[in-house]
């Protein structure tokens, strides 16, 4: 949250635990190459699928995850103020239902509540098609949309588990194009 970050191009890119988390690296790279300032925030699950050095190397900023890390107690407030757009990419079934429940026991959850929809909040679901169709997830996505989140569509195709159906993470190039459209 430093440098020439006041030009309307500040993105908080959050990753949660999904096999498709590797696509967040491509999205971060596309954004940085186009002049966006990207601050990566990762859940514990997101960190397991995509290591911190990758996102740190691409964004030039340390990956944030521990809201109780010394000196970082107010990151959720500072990030909410700094960001022009917050993107949860990928959003696992676990993360989606946690946001719906208002759980703030990690940095992503606290950031979600601290922003309170002052800035655009985008959610890009990624999961098995059975999970994507589960009433807990469909209800959570509906409620999150009603609250003000933009739920990005999923793709249809072969999923990591080998099944074919909906729940495939929207490709990074498509999300990049949507972000450019949103922020100019």
| Exposed e or buried b per residue across 30-57, where buried means at least 16 C-beta atoms within 10 angstroms of its C-beta | bbbeeebbbbbbbbebbbebbeeebbee
Radius of gyration for the chain, computed over Cα atoms and rounded to the nearest angstrom: 15
Sequential DSSP letters for 108-140: HHHHHHHHTTSS-EEEEE-S-HHHHHSHHHHHH
- The verdict on whether 161 is a catalytic residue reads yes
The two beta strands, 121-125 and 85-91, are parallel
Catalytic residue among 161, 171, 178, 183: 161
* Distance between CA atoms of residues 37 and 60, nearest Å: 9
Mind telling me the catalytic residues? 161
């Amino acid at each position: 949250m430093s440098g020439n970050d006041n030009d309307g191009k500040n993105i908080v890119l959050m990753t949660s635990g999904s096999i498709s988390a590797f696509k967040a690296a491509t999205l971060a790279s596309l954004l940085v190459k186009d002049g966006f300032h990207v601050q990566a925030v990762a859940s514990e699950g997101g960190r397991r699928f995509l290591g911190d050095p990758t996102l740190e190397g691409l964004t030039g900023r340390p990956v944030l995850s521990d809201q109780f890390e010394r000196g970082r107690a107010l990151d959720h407030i500072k990030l909410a103020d700094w960001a022009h757009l917050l993107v949860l990419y990928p959003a696992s079934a676990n993360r989606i239902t946690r946001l719906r429940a208002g759980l703030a026991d990690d940095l992503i959850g606290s950031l979600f509540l601290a922003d309170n929809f002052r800035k655009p909040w985008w959610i890009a679901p990624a999961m098995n098609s059975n999970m994507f169709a589960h009433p807990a997830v469909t209800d959570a996505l509906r409620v999150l949309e009603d609250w003000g989140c933009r739920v990005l569509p999923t793709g249809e195709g072969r999923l990591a588990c080998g099944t074919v159906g909906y729940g495939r993470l929207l490709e990074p190039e498509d999300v990049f194009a949507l972000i450019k459209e949103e922020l100019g």
